[in-house]
Amino acid sequence: MKIGVILNRVNFEEKEIIIKLKERGHKVIQFNNQRLKLNFNALFNNEVNDFSDVDIVLQRSLSLVRGLYSSAVLESAGIKVINDYNSLHICGDKILTSLKLFENNIPTPKSGIAFKKNSSLELIEELTGYPSIIKPPIGSWGRLIAKLDNKNMATAILEDRETMGHIFQKVFYIQDYIGPDQRPEDAPTDIRVIFLGGKCVAAMGRITQSDDFRSNIALGAKGIPLKIDNEMESICKKIADSVGGEFLGIDLMQTKKGYTCLEVNGCPQFKGMSKASNLDIAQQFIEYLEETYA
């Protein structure tokens, strides 16, 4: 197959995918989204363009905006993109993801949004109490996620974001904090599952290595392999059905009441997962592409 890869940086995941695609005889064309040109007239009139004869495009943009717009243009012109625009749009916005989870009765922490400091403080009191979590609607790697331990801390952080933040930081997305007392004693801080082609293919527990409550591998958390059980498989299938997408990173937390979904990543990174699980995620992804689209 002739496969396009849209990216703006070649990280571990992109490097693994590209190398293995070439090893299996596929032609790979890399498109740096910082230099990408999308000529609507050429694309829609079947004139020669950069994507002529491309069978599939893999959307690996770290930039959500570039990823969304390039996916929308290419899909409108009839080109298959993985993941598709709708899935990237939902997964790229934590609020939209939450709405899909609530719509489909999938367990997820208590959540809500407000747009000003005072209404946010009222929402915290009404919804979760302290401690609670504030997240930016758009972002990754745990950046700007904060644990609000009390009203004074919440007031200070809300004032900062209301005054200095960009437009999306002024949408205050509040979630309940699920502490260690709400999780089984041997449960990891949280769980990342790779969901590919309708099934869970790998899972790891992430364990914080410091006083930071965030468990992102990018922030130094340790990954350990986990067995995929029936409950995990079931909730992940429901999550994937609700947000769409063929290749997802699903973040769960194991509580004493069962699994709950925190977030879904539409352009999953899997370096930590590959190391923790000793599985070749890139190889599984390419085999799925071949079985499904070749």
pLDDT per position as a tens digit, 46-96 = 898 899 999 999 999 999 999 999 999 999 999 999 999 999 999 999 999
Both 115 and 77 in one domain: the answer is no
In a domain, 247, yes or no: yes
Spatial contact of 80 and 55, defined as CB atoms under 8 Å apart: yes
Q: Which residues are CB-contacts of 125 (< 8 A; sequence separation ≥ 6)? A: none
Query: Domain check: are 286 and 255 in the same one?
Result: yes
Claim to verify: residue 264 and residue 198 sit in the same structural domain: yes
Residue 104 counted as domain residue: no
Contact 133, 148 (CB under 8 A): yes
Place of tokens 């309708």: 198
Answer yes or no: do 186 and 286 share one domain.
yes
Give residues with Cβ within 8 angstroms of 208, minimum separation 6.
189, 214, 215, 221
Whether residue 171 is found in the same domain as residue 191: no
What is the residue-level pLDDT of the chain in tens, covering all 294 positions?
999 999 999 999 999 999 999 999 999 999 999 999 999 999 999 898 899 999 999 999 999 999 999 999 999 999 999 999 999 999 999 999 999 999 999 999 999 999 999 999 999 999 999 999 999 999 877 778 999 999 999 999 999 998 887 787 889 999 999 998 899 888 888 999 999 999 999 999 988 766 666 666 655 667 889 999 999 999 999 999 999 999 999 999 999 999 999 999 999 999 999 998 999 999 999 999 999 998
In this structure, is residue 100 part of a structural domain? no
Question: Considering the domain boundaries, does residue 101 fall inside one?
Answer: no
For 29, the domain range is: 2-82
Pick the closest to residue 98 from 239, 208, 226 (CA basis): 239
- Domain holding 254: CATH number? 3.30.470.20
Count of domains observed in the chain: 3
pTM (2 decimals)? 0.92
Residues 185 and 171 grouped into a single domain: no
